Amino acid sequence: MNQQELCESLSIKHKNFIEYQLSLSSQEFIASKNEKWTAGQQLEHIVISVSAVNQALLLPNFLLKLIFGKANRKSRTYDELVQKYLSKLQAGGRASGRFVPKTVTLDKKDKLTKKLMSEVEKMNRKISKLSENELETLIMPHPLLGKLTLREMFYFTIYHVQHHHEITIRNLKG
């Protein structure tokens, strides 16, 4: 995906997730079944994840290189990145530390959805300023997947929200 496609995909997937969250009743938003995260916790997890990437992107590119190094390989495709993530999950990988959401009450729903929209807009502004070369050579760490190129991190962010959208739907049905 090029910059425009990354931005469009990020916007669409997150918009779909936000619209779904906003469509949930109060009870659905806070319901937990089988000790799974509530819809509100799924939302907070996505906000935390997107915000973390945006925080790293605040660093100037030369600092990203200095701190994390440069890519020594070509970016994986979107499908390859998704497969790597799914295999890590199948091997028992889970969110940890600051990425695990706390209890999310109903009064946080609007604030979290607005924050997520704002964070996606920030990410898209940053993507539009990156060159194709920077997408391929700049890297940052992912807690489960290791060092990813920026392109791969954006692929992950696109898939991640879709993944948690599907989990939220499944958890509310079952």
At 53-106, the pLDDT tens digits run 999 999 999 999 999 999 999 999 999 999 999 999 999 999 999 999 999 999
Other C-beta atoms lying within 10 Å of the C-beta of residue 22? 12
Label residue 35 by pLDDT band (50, 70, 90): confident
pLDDT of residue 82: 98
**Does domain 3-173 bear CATH number 1.20.120.450?**
yes
Question: In this model, does residue 123 exceed pLDDT 70?
Answer: yes
What is the spatial distance between Cα 14 and Cα 148, in angstroms, rounded to a whole number?
A: 21
Q: Is the pTM of the predicted complex or chain greater than 0.85?
A: yes
Looking at residue 174, its pLDDT comes to: 67
- CA contacts within 13 A on the Cβ side of 89: 10
Q: pLDDT tens digits, residue range 131-159?
A: 999 999 999 999 999 999 999 999 999 99
Q: What is the mean pLDDT of residues 13-34?
A: 95
What is the pLDDT confidence band of residue 33, given thresholds at 50, 70 and 90? confident
Provide the H-helix boundaries in the chain: 3-23, 26-30, 39-57, 61-68, 78-90, 109-129, 132-137, 150-173
Average pLDDT rounded to a whole number, residues 158-172: 96
CB within 8 Å of 16: residues ≥ 6 apart: 162, 165
Residue 34 confidence (pLDDT): 78
Say if residue 173's pLDDT is above 90: no
Q: Name the one residue in this structure whose structure tokens are 């300023």.
A: 129
